[in-house]
A and B are shown apart, each in its own frame.
Chain A
C-alpha cells in the first residue's frame, strides 16, 4: 500500500519550459489536491478535484492546469514555467466522508531558473 505517490521527486526547468507533475493514490479516495509550499508562506492550495471528472481552482491557480485522469491520478501541468513557480509541490488525497484527513505524498521539489 503505497499511499500517495508523486513523480518526479526533483526537477529543474528553464523559464518557459513546460512539465507535468504526476500524482497517484491507491486508497480509492474521491478527492485529490495540489498544494505548493514556500518558505514563510505555508501550504497554499492550487487546485483540487472533489471527484473523478471534476476540478476546481484553489487559492493560487494562475499558471497551472490540472487533469483528473481517473480516480487514481491527478496531474499538475506548468505550461510555461516561471521562477516564481520554484517551490515544493505536494499532492494529497482524502475520502469524501466529512472530516476525512488528507494523505500527502512526499513532494516534488521544482526549481525554475
Chain B
C-alpha cells in the first residue's frame, strides 16, 4: 500500500466555518479512506470512496476523489469544536487492508 500526503499540516478555523483538507497519492488506487484521530485516542474510520466514485457524503462530511490528479479532499461543513482532531487519508491499492498513514492534518476548531 502507499502513503497519502495530507495538506495542510495544520488548519485553524472558527466554529461554524467549513474545513477543507487535501490528500495526494502517487499510484493508482482501489479506494481511499479518511480517518480521524482525537488527542490520545486511536484512529476512527470516517468514510471510504472507491476509485470509480467522484464524490461521497456522510452527514457533514463530503469527500471528493480525482483519480486523474491523484488527489482527494475532505470537507467538513459547519465545523464544531468537537471536530478538533487530526485527519488522515489512506489510499489503498486493494492488496488486503494494510493501510499506510501519513502525518495527517491537525484541525483546530475554535469557539
Where the two chains meet, the residues of A that have a C-beta atom closer than 8 Å to any C-beta of B are 4, 31, 33, 35, 40-45, 48, 50, 58-59, 90, 92, 94, 98-107
* Chain B residues at the A interface, C-beta cutoff of 8 Å: 3, 30-31, 33, 35, 40-45, 48, 50, 88, 92, 94, 96-104
Bound-state CA distance A59–B3 (Å) is 11
How far is the CB of B43 from the nearest CB of chain A, in Å? 5
Known A-B contacts A42-B104, A48-B98, A94-B97; A99 and B31 likewise in contact (beta carbons under 8 Å): yes
Q: Given A99-B48, A99-B50, A101-B45, A59–B100 Cβ distance below 8 Å?
A: yes
Q: Given the complex, which residues of A lie within 8 Å of B40, measured CB to CB?
A: 106-107
- Quick check: B3 and A101 within 8 Å, CB to CB? no
**Does the CB pair B97–A43 fall under 8 Å?**
no
Q: Count the A-B residue pairs with Cβ separation under 8 angstroms: how many? A: 59
Q: Are A33 and B98 in contact (CB under 8 A)?
A: yes
Return the chain A residue nearest B46 by Cβ: A101
In the bound complex, residues from chain A placing their C-beta under 8 Å from that of B104 are 42
**A42–B104 Cα gap in the complex (Å)?**
7
Task: Please give the distance in Å from A111's CB to the nearest CB on chain B.
Answer: 15
Q: Are B97 and A100 in contact (CB under 8 A)?
A: yes
Q: Chain A residues with Cβ under 8 A from B42's Cβ?
A: 4, 90, 92, 104-107
* Bound-complex Cα distance A103 to B44 (A): 7
For B31, what are the chain A residues with a Cβ–Cβ distance below 8 Å? Answer: 99
Besides the contacts A100-B97, A105-B42, what 8 more A-B pairs have beta carbons closer than 8 Å? A31-B96, A41-B103, A42-B88, A43-B100, A92-B43, A99-B30, A106-B41, A106-B42
